[in-house]
Amino acid sequence: MSQAFISYSRKDKEFVKRLYEALKQHNREVWVDWEGIPFTADWRKEIYQGIEAADNFIFVISLNSVVSEVCGEEIAHALKHNKRLVPIVWQYAEGVHPELAKINYIFFEETNDFNIALQSLLDTLDTDLAHVKEHTRLLVVALEWEQKKRNSSYLLQGSQLEEAEQWFTKGAGKKPLITPLQQEYIGESRKAQRARYRTRLIALTSGFVISTGLAIFAAIGWKEAVRQQIAAQKSALQALISASDGRFTANRDTFDALIEALKAGKKLKELDTDKITISNEERAEVMKVLGQAIYWVRERSRLEDSNAIPSVSFSPDGEILATAGANRTVKIWNKHGRLLHTLEKHKDEVMSVSFSPDSQILASASLDGTVKLWNRQGKLFHDFEKLNTKVRTVSFSPDSQIFATASEDGKVRLWNRQYKVFQTLKHMNYSDRVRSVSFSPDGKIIATAGDDNMVKLWNCQGQMLFKPLKHNAAVFSVIFSPNGKMIASASFDGTVKFWNLEGQELNNLQKNYSDPIRSVSFSPDNKMIAIAVGNSVKLRQLLDGREISLNGHNAAISQVAFSPDGRTIATASDDKTVKLWHKDGTVITTLTGHDGEVNSISFSPDSKTLISGSKDGTAILWNIENLTLDGLMGRGCDWLHDYLTNNANGQSYASHYHVCDGVKTQTGS
């Protein structure tokens, strides 16, 4: 077995050789195909066995590897066996496999420090090492059992079986996830062990007529068998608890987590009936998974589209909202989720929608090179001349008199209410992308940022105010504080930088993080900033620099936002969930219902509703007004008691509804 398998394009062999040698120098066993395959071997079989026997699957992202058919097959085999994926970037490239794109990259580009990147990789390989190694070991023996036509002699016994069951219980929800084959292998091993005990009991019992001594041994064997049976029953309860909690944590389907929790409740009842002692801690665990499985989804309305939704936006008056679709449409909905208008004039993906501050105009920007303006009734009242570039972002000035568009030709264009471009801000070279445009609260300054690693400040006459503000990698987001006195910029280099309006860096606030930063958000009172760093959010007090981490997502966070009243923080993640947090760092709830990465969120002006947009083609309106920590943990539902009482087989899930906190939720399918 090896600690890592490296998947790469042969065109990147020189880099991989350097990486391989560096890992070997740190005593890491690494499997690479130039080193591990005998000339006479079945090439593909050896590759697959190398993946199966490795603790981690390192994928070298490059322009060559993302289009390699062989690399794609290797990724598919790693995913089939739930291998822990570790993507590293040698060359930045589009079209990365979606499962890899969910994970934080480690950057080995020529502009990055190799040794720093290597240490990050070593730290990743060493994270939760015991779980990963046992995952690999059990996968290998389970595959061998399957290849030997499930011969019982290859099953686990004794202490090995007990250790595997403990690993299964503790490992639910951990990455890499437990595979169905591993689960079946451990289950069949337990069945075989029970069969052996039964056979032994029969032999001991039949010997009773031969010898009193043998009868004593039989009695001892019987007691041991009873003890083992009780232990197995308790282990089964714990496995169901862990399965529900694991599916909840790993963002599995809502009903799967609930079903496993219901099975745990049923098992608890059976143990009580059999007068088997169950500790209060175990009972509390059952109630915990039941409670979280019921309460975690607070879906209000699902707004269906046919493709990815890259942008969502509430109107400032809170009465309507808009969604941008990769299917070339813009849709306008009322605040209750009823579709009002479908706008179909664009000829390519719509990447951004934005309402004017007076709520009277909706602007849409598309990869077809056009910007269109619509009124609240969905009528197109101005169609701008097509640009020879893709337009990705559109935003209005605070007084609604100007709006700005950012495009892939490296330019930001300023448009007036006569629908004319009156200034063009050349932010960067044609090959680079402008990622973010932001107006100051008074509308006098415009901040732009993008792939040239720069933040630039302009006045509305198109003059650059100061020398460009620099990062060491692409800048994802630049925003003004609500009071207009400060600017924050978030970068792929793992830093968030703060600047005053004179273009001077506020070094006392700057901090470096190890992961790319995709989003930042100021609190409405200007006292805090939320920073999306990889899978977590860093919540910093701006006065004294105190910081807490909001941890719980299983993949990178794409956006973080404060509610307008400042009481709640929302995070959207590539793990397909939205989480709501208190300002003290405690999670309020996890909103689950999307089947794809969640890439955009927007609060209603009254902070009572949240809309989330996903790559799965849905936007969801969530009723969050009554979601409090006490509300989630302190209330029960009579429905749950009735369900456990009346559905002893734990298999009937259809047509059950309950009302908790005023939100109607279907708990069946």
What is the layout of strands, in order, in the sheet containing 618-623? Answer: 299-304, 618-623, 609-614, 598-603
Q: What mean pLDDT do residues 591-599 have?
A: 85
Higher pLDDT, 455 or 266: 455
Candidate from 114-123, 550-559, 590-599, 621-630 with smallest mean pLDDT: 621-630
Residue 223's pLDDT band (boundaries 50, 70, 90)? low
Residue 203's pLDDT band (boundaries 50, 70, 90)? low
**Cα separation, 315 vs 340, whole angstroms:** 14
Residue appearing with tokens 């939720």: 665
**Cα separation, 344 vs 327, whole angstroms:** 9
pLDDT at residue 507 in the model: 77
Cα dihedral 35→38→44→48 (10° resolution): -60
For the full predicted model, state whether its pTM sits above 0.75: no
**Of 458, 347, 466, 373, whose CA–CA distance to 412 is shortest?**
458
Note whether 589 and 633 are within 8 A (CB): no
Residue 559's pLDDT band (boundaries 50, 70, 90)? very high
Q: Write the pLDDT tens digit of every residue in 334-371.
A: 887 788 898 988 999 999 999 999 888 999 999 999 99
What is the layout of strands, in order, in the sheet containing 371-375? Answer: 350-355, 361-366, 371-375, 380-383
pLDDT at residue 23 in the model: 93
Note whether 341 and 319 are within 8 A (CB): no
The residues, any chain, with a CB within 8 Å of residue 243's CB and separated by 6 or more, are 172, 260
Q: Give the pairing of strands 106-107 and 84-89.
A: parallel
φ, ψ for residue 554, nearest 5 deg: -105, 5
Q: What mean pLDDT do residues 528-551 have?
A: 90
Indicate whether 636 pLDDT > 60: no
Helix (H, G, I), strand (E, B) or coil at 64: coil
Beta bridge partners of 658: 665
Candidate from 261-265, 315-319, 635-639 with smallest mean pLDDT: 635-639
Distances (CA, A) of 439 to 240, 277, 311, 448, 452: 52, 64, 18, 9, 20
**Cα separation, 461 vs 503, whole angstroms:** 18
DSSP state of 464: B
Element (H, E) at 87: strand 84-89
Q: Write the pLDDT tens digit of every residue in 13-22.
A: 999 999 999 9
Write the DSSP assignment of 399-429 as a string of letters: TSS-EEEEETTSEEEEE-TTS-EEEEEE-S-
Indicate whether 96 pLDDT > 50: yes
**Cα separation, 417 vs 167, whole angstroms:** 64
**Of 345, 385, 384, 389, whose CA–CA distance to 367 is shortest?**
389
Q: Write the pLDDT tens digit of every residue in 38-76.
A: 544 577 888 998 999 888 999 999 999 999 988 999 999
The residues, any chain, with a CB within 8 Å of residue 91's CB and separated by 6 or more, are 12, 61, 62, 63, 64, 109
Tokens representing residue 424 in the block: 């063009």
**CB hemisphere CA count around 78 (13 angstroms):** 29
pLDDT at residue 174 in the model: 58
**Cα separation, 615 vs 594, whole angstroms:** 9
**Cα separation, 341 vs 334, whole angstroms:** 10
Helices (H) and strands (E) in the chain, counts: 14, 39
Q: What mean pLDDT do residues 269-287 have?
A: 78
Candidate from 140-149, 180-189, 261-270, 620-629 with smallest mean pLDDT: 620-629
**Cα separation, 663 vs 240, whole angstroms:** 28
Mean pLDDT of the chain: 78
Write the DSSP assignment of 484-543 as a string of letters: SS-EEEEETTSEEEEE-TTS-B-TTT-EE-SS-EEEEEE-TTSSEEEEEETTEEEEEETT
Which span out of 35-49, 157-171, 336-350, 423-437 was modeled with the highest average pLDDT? Answer: 336-350
Indicate whether 37 pLDDT > 60: no
Indicate whether 666 pLDDT > 70: no
Indicate whether 331 pLDDT > 70: yes
Task: Region of 95 please: left (phi>0), alpha (psi -120 to 50) or beta.
Answer: left
Helix (H, G, I), strand (E, B) or coil at 260: helix
Which span out of 245-254, 357-366, 626-635, 646-655 was modeled with the highest average pLDDT? Answer: 357-366
Q: What mean pLDDT do residues 325-331 have?
A: 86
Indicate whether 298 pLDDT > 60: no
**Of 333, 430, 433, 409, whose CA–CA distance to 378 is shortest?**
333
pLDDT at residue 625 in the model: 64
Write the DSSP assignment of 301-326 as a string of letters: EEEE-SS---EEEE-TTSSEEEEE-T
φ, ψ for residue 450, nearest 5 deg: -175, -155
Indicate whether 237 pLDDT > 70: yes
Q: Which burial class, exposed, middle or buried, applies to 382 when counting CB atoms under 10 A from its CB (0-12, 13-18, 19+)?
A: middle
pLDDT at residue 58 in the model: 94
**Cα separation, 210 vs 204, whole angstroms:** 10
Q: What mean pLDDT do residues 527-542 have?
A: 91
Indicate whether 437 pLDDT > 60: yes
pLDDT at residue 301 in the model: 55
Which span out of 3-7, 323-327, 409-413 was modeled with the highest average pLDDT? Answer: 3-7
pLDDT at residue 247 in the model: 62
DSSP state of 154: G
Residue 441's pLDDT band (boundaries 50, 70, 90)? very high
Residue 664's pLDDT band (boundaries 50, 70, 90)? very low
**Cα separation, 386 vs 255, whole angstroms:** 47
pLDDT at residue 522 in the model: 93
pLDDT at residue 366 in the model: 92
**Of 277, 189, 287, whose CA–CA distance to 241 is shortest?**
287
Beta bridge partners of 445: 459
User: Within 10 A of 180 (CB to CB), how many other CB atoms are there?
Assistant: 10
Provide the terminal-to-terminal Cα distance of the chain, rounded to the nearest Å: 43
